Amino acid sequence: MPNLRFTEKALSDWMRGQGNDSDIVISSRVRVARNLQHLPFPLLANPEQLEEVLERLTDIPNQEELQSLGTFYMIKMNEIDSLDKKVLVEKHLISPNLASESPNGAVILNEDESVSIMINEEDHLRIQCLYPGFQVRDAWDRATSIDDVFENHVDYAFDDRRGYLTSCPTNVGTGLRASVMMHLPALVMTQQINRILSAVSQVGLTVRGIYGEGSEALGNLFQISNQITLGQTENEIIDNLHSVVLQMIEHEKNARQHLLDESRVRMTDRVKRSYGILSYAEVMDSKEAAQRLSDLRLGIDLGIIEGPSIAVMNELNVMTQPGFLQKTYGHDSNVEDRDMCRAKLIRETLAIS
């Protein structure tokens, strides 16, 4: 039986920490993509070849080198149902691609869910490390340590000129994607966000929504990540992201101060209205929930209101997603029922926090 405790609770243990600048940076993530030499990449591999990849990679977490970094558990995609897969996606522990298109795939998770090792996703191996707040360098240090362990046991597909070879050409080179999830409500309210994000795109970075490529930036949450993986070293990629994010943090702080200086009463009214609606609403769709929770988080960060802890706010962001609502209330509800369940869950969580 697969270990499903990872889908029973919304909050990953690593999210209880705050990290640097946690009022603006929700989390830092580093992911490296690798493929095994002499085996077709997942998009072209047959089931027998994918099973060989699985066998060769899943024993490595049992090696002493990796055990020194923590206890790991494996979940095979063909052993869990679609709802549990959806919850793992909502917790950012697996990708939508692994959930929907990889029957021969698996994920290896550590105890606090800060490490997620995906097997037979778009690439044979994707190592992801997650940290609270602005700790992208720490996330990189851990990811490269885990990567070194795997490389000691298998040969990677590598080219002297092109670097690590990947299924998607945009990952060739370092195979590195580093990103931070940022809460930028003040830049949105002061209508500076488009200018800032346009500038970000000019320096080799890209902006996505909360669930990556193709997703919407709900609740003023934006994922900032590197776009270039070839022609730069890993440290250069990390340093560039780090530098740009520091500037974005400063812009957001200035915008927040401007809102307080110029329209404190309106800001206070907005925050308290959202808190009231969250506390008493009977029906709430996901878009409104994300916006109201964003207002409440901003109000707490600015000291406008005393509210739930950051850990509770992070938990609500996951608990209000469709998969987790279905998991919590035990049935596949229609949209209206789900909106009622979402409102109920928020009310009850705020009442006890």
180 is in an annotated binding site: yes
* Sign of the alpha-carbon dihedral angle for 277, 17, 134, 87: negative
179 among the known binding-site residues? yes
In whole angstroms, give the CA distance from residue 202 to residue 198: 7
H helix intervals, 281-334: 286-301, 310-319, 322-329
- Does the annotation place 213 within a ligand binding site? yes
Is residue 5 annotated as involved in ligand binding?
no
Is position 210 annotated in a ligand binding site? yes
Closest among 82, 83, 81, 87 to 11, alpha carbons compared: 87
DSSP state of 260: H
| 163 in a known ligand binding site | no
Strands (E) across the chain are located at 25-34, 72-76, 106-110, 115-119, 125-132, 158-159, 163-164, 176-183, 205-208, 221-226
Question: 29 labelled as ligand-binding?
Answer: yes
For 338, residues 6+ apart whose C-beta sits below 8 A from its C-beta are: 322, 325, 326
The answer to the question of whether 136 is labelled as a binding residue is no
- The answer to whether 274 is annotated as binding is no
Is 238 labelled a binding residue?
Answer: no
**Residue 153 labeled ligand binder:** no
Residue 335 marked as a ligand binder:
no
92 is in an annotated binding site: yes
Residue 229 contacts by C-beta under 8 Å, 6 or more apart in sequence? 170, 171, 172, 173, 174, 175, 176, 177, 237
199 annotated as belonging to a binding site for a ligand: no
CB 143 within 8 A of CB 117: no
Task: Determine contact, residues 105/120, Cβ cutoff 8 Å.
Answer: yes
Residue 124 gets which letter from DSSP? S
Distance CA 147, CA 129 (A): 11
**Distance (Å, whole) CA 172 – CA 225:** 16
Binding-site positions for ATP: 27-31, 92, 126, 177-181, 208-213
Binding-site positions: 27-31, 92, 126, 177-181, 208-213
